Amino acid sequence: MAWLTLDNLGLTEGGTRIVDGVSLSLAAGRTVVLGPNGAGKSTLLRLIHGLLHPSGGELHWPHALSQAMVFQRPVMLRTTAMANVAYGLKLKGHAARECAIRAREALGRAGLEHLAARPARLLSGGEQQRVALARAWALEPELLILDEPTASLDPASSREVERIIGEIAANGTRILMTTHNLGQAKRLADEIVFIDRGRVVEQTPVRDFFTRPRSDAAQDFLKEESP
Amino acid sequence: MHDFNEPFVTAWQLVAAADARLAGIVLLSLRVSLAATAIACIVGMPIGALLAVGRFPGRRALIVLFNGLMGLPPVVVGLLVYLLLSRAGPLGSLGLLFSPGAMVVAQAILVTPIVAALTRQVVADAWTEYREQLRSLGAGRPRAAATLLWDGRFSLSTAALAGFGRAIAEVGAVMIVGGNIDGVTRVMTTTIALETSKGDLPLALALGFILITVVLAINAVAYGVRGWAERRWG
């Protein structure tokens, strides 16, 4: 049962088709979008999250899903890690007490309880990204979108971020993410959507994609990206 | 015959003795300009933040307007406030003309565009960084503006400071609407202008020292607070 269907979705900017007639049915719990630089992965995620408006086509949500998004570079407010997590809850209209309780829980699940009172912007990049994940997790979204969440992190931080994403998925939240790390895609994905130049080239279960990709473009991509 | 150094010596003696007349003038200056700056911040900062994140018709024109008004000539503001507050004017019934209240109004009008324009710049820079995250979390534009004002509170101290510097140093507006009445509306700048023209250089010089010291001291404190805040909050 698809939770999102894209019908000929497009975004044109300055005459360039960044997303070019994408039709997709997303039904998997954990979907990873792969593709070369500039393929339109981030733009596709932003269209789905509603940060960008498509210049053509439609999104069909069979049931409206509550969403949260984690970006490549975490954006932290000049306050404590705890208050950063609580901020998202406050915007949803929760009472201050409940915000504090849920924020503390989310920080705990992300393994950050000891950093709750620290100024968020002075944390390391990996810690900030985990605070951003906790902030998204605290909202208990039905769909979590992540745009290259580990692109600027060291391996240890990346593993920790992967662990958290895995746990969020295990709690029933749908995951839609992009990554440049093929190992990560293998570990996290149920299904791969491969896009190139704004178009969907193939949509394949993860095991098949890495052993026998159907498209030439994906074969070339895997050859180039694999060591 | 006046020795060139003599006014300096006398000026220093006035400052050192905390001369009562001198102290009264300095305190009135500070009260008027601090009140005007406070009003300008309360009005100008939300305006600046909304100009930075808002999307409404006429936004660009307003940005140009506020940037232009940063260079508003104090005497013109003084004249306009004078006309508003004069007995025949629309606000004449308030009886504010030639009172410290009128001086606060004039300086607040002078300083608000400065605070608004500088705030807009600070918030606009932050908005490019925070925009997607705040929208993703569901913050509407007014809420985003408020969040960015609070987040930029330390950078915004510079905007308040620039406004205060402008207020405490201007002569034209307070001269016209205050009337430079001894013991009532005489502030540092108007006293310096008057005493210099009368030839009482020591008092003028003493006030000049104090004026410069006040401005430097406030800048130093603000610089220190910003540095501390950056180390504390990043």
Q: What ipTM was reported for this prediction?
A: 0.93
Would you call B147 and A69 a contact, using CB atoms and an 8 Å cutoff?
A: no
* Residue B125 contacts A, CB cutoff 8 Å: no
A56-82 per-position pLDDT tens digit? 999 999 999 999 999 999 999 999 999
pLDDT tier at B14, thresholds 50, 70, 90 = confident
* Residue B155 contacts A, CB cutoff 8 Å: no
* Residue A71 contacts B, CB cutoff 8 Å: yes
Which of A46, A71, A78 lies closest to B234 in CB terms? A78
**CATH of A4-66+141-225 among 3.40.640.10, 3.40.50.300, 1.10.3720.10, 3.10.20.600:** 3.40.50.300
Distance CA A149, CA B46 (A): 34
Amino acid B183: pLDDT: 92
Average pLDDT, chain A: 96
Which CATH architecture group holds B21-187? Orthogonal Bundle (1.10)
Distances in Å between the Cα of B69 and the Cα atoms of B34, B76, B118, B133 are 20, 12, 12, 33
Sorted by where each begins, the domain ranges of chain A are 4-66+141-225, 77-139
Amino acid B8: pLDDT: 85
Q: Pairing mode, if any, of strands A67-70 and A143-147? A: parallel
* Residue B21 contacts A, CB cutoff 8 Å: no
Would you call A79 and B233 a contact, using CB atoms and an 8 Å cutoff?
A: yes
- Judging contacts by C-beta atoms under 8 Å, the chain A residues touching residue B153 are 78
Amino acid at B159: A
Q: Estimate the share of chain B in helix, then strand, then coil, as percent rounded to the nearest 5.
A: 80, 0, 20
Kindly tell me if the per-residue pLDDT of B1 is higher than 70.
Answer: no
Q: Which of A134, A153, A121, A132 is nearest to A74 (CA)?
A: A132
Average pLDDT, chain B: 94
Percent of chain B with pLDDT over 70: 99
Which of B137, B151, B234 lies closest to A88 in CB terms? B137
Amino acid B127: pLDDT: 97
- Nearest chain A residue (CA) to B133: A75
Would you call B233 and A71 a contact, using CB atoms and an 8 Å cutoff?
A: no
Which of A51, A71, A121 lies closest to B234 in CB terms? A121
Amino acid B2: pLDDT: 59
Kindly report the pTM of this predicted structure: 0.89
pLDDT tier at B102, thresholds 50, 70, 90 = very high
B179-221 per-position pLDDT tens digit? 999 999 999 999 999 999 999 998 899 999 999 999 999 889 9
- Burial per residue of A133-160, b for 16 or more beta-carbon CB atoms within 10 angstroms, e otherwise: bbbbbbbbbebbbbbbbbeebeeebbeb
